Amino acid sequence: MSMPTTPLRPRALFAMGRSHRDALFPPEAVRRLSLSCEIDPELLVEDFAQVPGLAGLDDVELLITSWGCPPLDAAVLARMPRLKAVVHAAGSVKHHVTQACWDRGLLVSTAAAANAVPVAEYTVAAVLFANKRVLEIAGHYREHHAVEDWTLRFPGFGNHRRTVGLVGASLVGRKVLELLRPFDFELLLADPLLDHATARALGARLVELDELLAGCDVVSLHAPALPETHHLLDARRLALLPDGATLVNTARGSLVDQHALTAEVSSGRIHAVLDVTEPEVLPATSPLYTLPNVLLTPHIAGSLGGELRRITISAIEEVERYCAGSEFAHPVTRAALAVSA
C-alpha cells in the first residue's frame, strides 16, 4: 500500500529593495514564512532583467513584494508561468501591479491597512497640536524665553468643540475618524463615493468639499492621487479655509496646488502640517522649510522603524492564508484600485 504524499508547499520569492527586505523580513520572519511556503531567504529580485533565463522564476507561485518591487508587466509575468498571487508588504500596489496582472487573474493582497495605522496616528497628533497651537507657542517660547497670555494671542485655541474635516474616507481616513471619536470634535467628511448613512456610521457628517473647507479649524487630506484629484485644493479652495485654519496632508502632494499653498502660508493666514509635497523634496529655496506656521516632514507618517513589524505580520498572515487555501483578509481588486491610492 502506498503512503499518502505530503502536498507540495508553494514556491515564494521576495521582490523588493534589499534594504526593505532586510528590515521587513529578518530571520525569524523568514522562518515563519518557511513553515507555509518554500522560500530562499538569499534569493531577492530587485530587477527582473537581472535574473538570467528562467532561473529562480519558472516555478514561483507566490511573490512577496514591497517598496522597490519593479513593475510586473507582461514580459515579467511570461517568465513566471505558475505565478498565482502577490502579497504586498507595504501600502499601494499601483507601482508594480499592472494590467497584465489582472489579465492573468492574479490574486493580490496588500498591507495597506497595517500601514494606515501610523499615518492615522501622525494625523491625530497633527490635529491635536494644531488646535492647541503647540508649534507656534513652542517657537515663540524658544525665541523669547517668556510666557504670554496665550488665550489673548490665540483666541479660542484648544481642542474643545473644534471642527475637523477629512477629505476622503480611505483606509487612513477611516482610521483617523476612529481615533478622533473619543475627542470632543465635530467631524465633517467629504467623499463623492460615500452616502450620508455610511458617513454617520463612521462618526462624521457628510458635506460637500467647499462647505467642509469653509467650516473647519483643521482639514486633513486622505484622498487618492487620481487625475480627477490633481490639485483638488487649488487657489480658490484654499482661500475658503478660515483664517487660522490648519491644513494637514499625509496623503499625496499632488492633491494640493503647491504654489497656491505656499502663497497662503507665506501670508500667515493659514497653517500647514505637510508630510508630502509636490515635488516630494522641495527646492532648497522653498519658504516652507522655515515658515513658523508650517511643519514640514519628509514623508515619515507611514510605517518606519518598529512600526514595520505590523506590516510584516500582516504579510505573513496573508501568505499563511493563501497557503492554507483560504481567501486573503486584505484583497485588492482592479475596481477598488481604480479609486484608491
Active site residues per annotation: 252, 280, 299
How far is Cα 161 from Cα 256, in angstroms, rounded to an integer? 27
Say how many residues make up the chain. Answer: 341
Type of residue found at 171: L
Q: What residues have CB less than 8 Å from 39, skipping those under 6 apart?
A: 11, 12, 13, 14, 30, 33, 64
Indicate left, alpha or beta for 321 from its phi (over 0: left) and psi (-120 to 50: alpha): alpha
Helix, strand, or coil (residue 231): coil
CB 341 within 8 A of CB 225: yes
- Cell triple for residue 303? 510605517
Give the CA-trace dihedral at 187, 189, 195, 200, to 10 degrees. -10
- Coarse DSSP helix, strand, coil percentages of the chain, rounded to the nearest 5 percent: 40, 15, 45
